[in-house]
Homo-oligomer: A and B are copies of this chain.
């Protein structure tokens, strides 16, 4: 056995690595006697001590063994590979990977819709929020305060349900801001809405369980249901959100109904009180839990907000989910659930086995933000700003497209839906693609059948008003080129992209 030593590098490490590699690769067989440390040292002109250290290390690790009076040997207990001659087993990728049914279902789904953020100059993609809106100075100050407060205290495992001070602050805030009467013991802190959805499915839904979703539905929820193997029962939405008259019969045994009543995603309808009560009534009779995803309810520009289902619920059937993704920043991964008392323990247990608890520093800072009144001041400010953005977008769309465009879902939230009447729905993806070439990010919306034209979701929270106007002006060029194509009855050339 010959070692190849580089005199410029640490010798001990090299000898160790090469010996071990020779053993692992079966170049030297189990039971083979090694040269004595002195012989090996002499042969390679290294100090005997260096070789001794390596031998001892390999002995300690079980690669070598000594027999008194006989010397040092490659460990006999090193397993022989079954395939003779093969140095290593074949790479696994040659064999089929055996996944769980969950993972198999998931691998057939298109999760690309979850990847937001296109990096385009004029991104109307939903999910972006403005950096200028983030209360960076206050956040940094509170973060520093919290770090000082923790000085000398370890960052240990925390209460798996969430920091008690955050749950208390949220209970107060939800009472003031959302008419929700929740005790802190009903609140569970999670890593954003997606984890709320995931936990609800884990706790309440089995493969083949019936689950009501809105049609169209937020893709993060629909995908999670599909991956779980739920039997989806889509209920169409209109301008007032989900229509309870179209719910399945109460005998269906629906386990969970996922809804976005404060601003239906994506179509933007706000569910009126009567529908909310009808939905709750159905849920009571059907014995169904409702997951109310209140993802952007802080923004409502026309009229006072309607109470969330949670606040109208008298039967303990509503699981409420809120998030800071739209009011602070999605990258914080911070959300909260208000649970019916019956469900607190099941959800808490699932959360613990999922990831023990949500990271505590952000929780503490968020608690300070609420307690010190910053959060609600911040909300008033972002509400005004987003209303200005919305107004700018509405004005720009009307100016650019006049009666060619139909706008829905603008009363609340951070996005609206536009429908270009003169453009076939089948061209929506092509329009979005052409827009991207003009640095404009819009998302083709899957909206209900009926009604003509290509529909798009347009978020506006990430742009300032000037960019909104400029983005719409550029979009106008794109849309007009498609109009011309439609009028010519064949694919025409797009106008040149703006550099």
Question: Taking beta carbons and an 8 Å cutoff, which residues of A are in contact with B?
Answer: 16, 24, 56-57, 60-63, 75, 77-79, 81-82, 88-93, 95, 97-103, 106-107, 109, 111, 114-117, 127-132, 134, 136, 139-140, 143-144, 147, 150-158, 160, 190-192, 194-195, 198, 201-206, 209, 220, 223-224, 227, 255, 272-275, 277-278, 281, 284-285, 287, 302-304, 306, 312, 314-317, 328-334, 340-343, 345-346, 349-350, 352-362, 462
Give the residue among A63, A100, A203, A275 with the most B Cβ atoms within 10 A.
Answer: A100
Contact sample, A vs B, 5 pairs, CB 8 Å cutoff:
A61-B306, A79-B278, A97-B342, A191-B191, A355-B355
- Given the known A-B contacts A100-B206, A204-B98, A312-B24, are A281 and B81 also in contact in the complex, defined by CB atoms under 8 Å? yes
- Given the known A-B contacts A90-B315, A102-B203, A330-B157, are A192 and B355 also in contact in the complex, defined by CB atoms under 8 Å? yes
Of the candidates B88, B140, B204, the one whose C-beta lies within 8 Å of that of A147 is B140
Whether A315 contacts B89 by the Cβ 8 Å rule is yes
Known: A62-B272, A195-B354, A220-B356; 20 extra A-B contacts, CB below 8 A, are A60-B303, A63-B273, A77-B274, A79-B274, A82-B281, A91-B315, A92-B316, A93-B341, A97-B342, A100-B255, A107-B349, A111-B349, A111-B353, A156-B330, A158-B331, A192-B356, A194-B354, A194-B356, A223-B353, A331-B361
Contacts of A101 in B (CB 8 A): 206
**In the assembled complex, how far is the CB of residue A381 from the closest CB belonging to chain B, in whole angstroms?**
16
Whether A157 contacts B117 by the Cβ 8 Å rule is yes
Contacts of A334 in B (CB 8 A): 359
**In the assembled complex, how far is the CB of residue A326 from the closest CB belonging to chain B, in whole angstroms?**
12
Contacts of A99 in B (CB 8 A): 203-204, 346
Closest B residue, CB atoms, query A148: B140
Whether A140 contacts B131 by the Cβ 8 Å rule is no
- Given the known A-B contacts A115-B160, A284-B89, are A106 and B349 also in contact in the complex, defined by CB atoms under 8 Å? yes
Closest B residue, CB atoms, query A277: B79
**In the assembled complex, how far is the CB of residue A151 from the closest CB belonging to chain B, in whole angstroms?**
6
Contacts of A151 in B (CB 8 A): 136
With A and B bound together, what is the CA distance between A340 and B99 in angstroms?
13
Whether B312 contacts A97 by the Cβ 8 Å rule is no
Closest B residue, CB atoms, query A80: B281
